[in-house]
Structure 1
């Protein structure tokens, strides 16, 4: 009986030894071949004059081949619109990309990060709006010009929306701010110029999101 017990204890000890050895080997192999993944710290964007400007920040980036910028419209379906090469910097790295050909309406952007070993990761989705068509500036006009007490403007809108109407002088100082409702199609609106001195000004119409704007110069005369 004692001999059997001794044999069993020896067998358990050997099994435990090999289990510990195998575990250590697996851990060593993982540490040796594993690559610490890069961290996407932020991904955001803004719209200026119907151009989407995307920015993202990476950290601990050592294995990145490139970033594929993908865009989808309101009908869905992502398309690859550009590729940005990875810099591979252990510190924080800031990337940027400008899309000067936004789709009408909402634009959905995401990053497809492709590593040197073929691994693929996707970022969150950033939504940017292009409610006023990029060629809408040719559809906006002001009259009469020069203007006296009232300035009229005509503008086309793809959909109903509320806009911010502002008047600037040549020094960039805001002389008037108001809000007006536009409807789908051609709109004719007017603003009062009382209180403005004679001179040169700019009329700016901006959607509420600030993603698109129309600007036209005019002259105020008594």
Structure 2
């Protein structure tokens, strides 16, 4: 049953706009925000979406986890997105900062299903280079796009269907040329070949320009990604946005002075203040000229320090963000002891925990971050001892990293000297 279950988890793209062929040139799958959905999972089981980094310095690390499939304001780069389905408590391996390999290792021997990566590959997140209001001109900075000797430089405006909307030598485009809101790309082409310049016609496919440019251009630069928006003002006057700790939960409170067409507030959380995901939604008051107060209780803070912001959305789907606030908890008193250290044969890791029950993982890596050993464990209150054999460890210095659901442990160096 489990194998069939794993086999049929499938991703469904919610926003079909991003399937545009033009993305093959921009090499962008999403711009800042990711929205995906999966089907084929077991009803009644826990379902979560996992964002895993494919970027240097954090390859294979879990960046964000949520139940919605929405990852907001993701830093530009390369990522994998997976869907997991499991029964019971969330395993220790499935936590932000852990390696994704630990999740797949856990899944191989437990009632835990993992989908293939979304699109069966790493996806690319691009930054928006410029935001423009619908009534304003688009103007790209031409610095760095130096024309080669004897060549002329032309800027090409392309829409999301890969169609040329305009071409000029100034890098400035008017609302009559881009017409509507949306995502646009601008390329800079350096060429002196008429076979190329003849493809700069409005309505032509950018595929033809790229094909003609293969051996007839000094350079083809870009794209610069431009987001054109209606820039409709959002008349919701926020008086304050505060938070306070309530036991193991975080209570968020905010108030508005007045509201016009206010549909709802999304509450978003982050472990680093950069990558946010939605954790809840509170209905707005629509239209109001009186002070309105709101609350949201987060019973599962993401980390010792959790960052929060509000995303206020009106009835037309326009939105804006509040300021970012953070709530921190004092790190629990914990201790890790490795003995003997240096070790020649077996060594033991002793972890002192103040919690009666805490899922955790022990990861041992070399100093470059390559995993040497990995183990999922359950911590009880008090002393917890785990023994490792050094037969697979060459003589070297290693880092022992312990990740748990309730505590952050500092890495400890381990020396193997055979």
TM-score normalized by the length of structure 1: 0.50
Higher RCO (Cα < 8 Å, 6 or more apart): 1
Structure with greater helix percent: 1
Q: Which structure has the bigger radius of gyration? A: 1
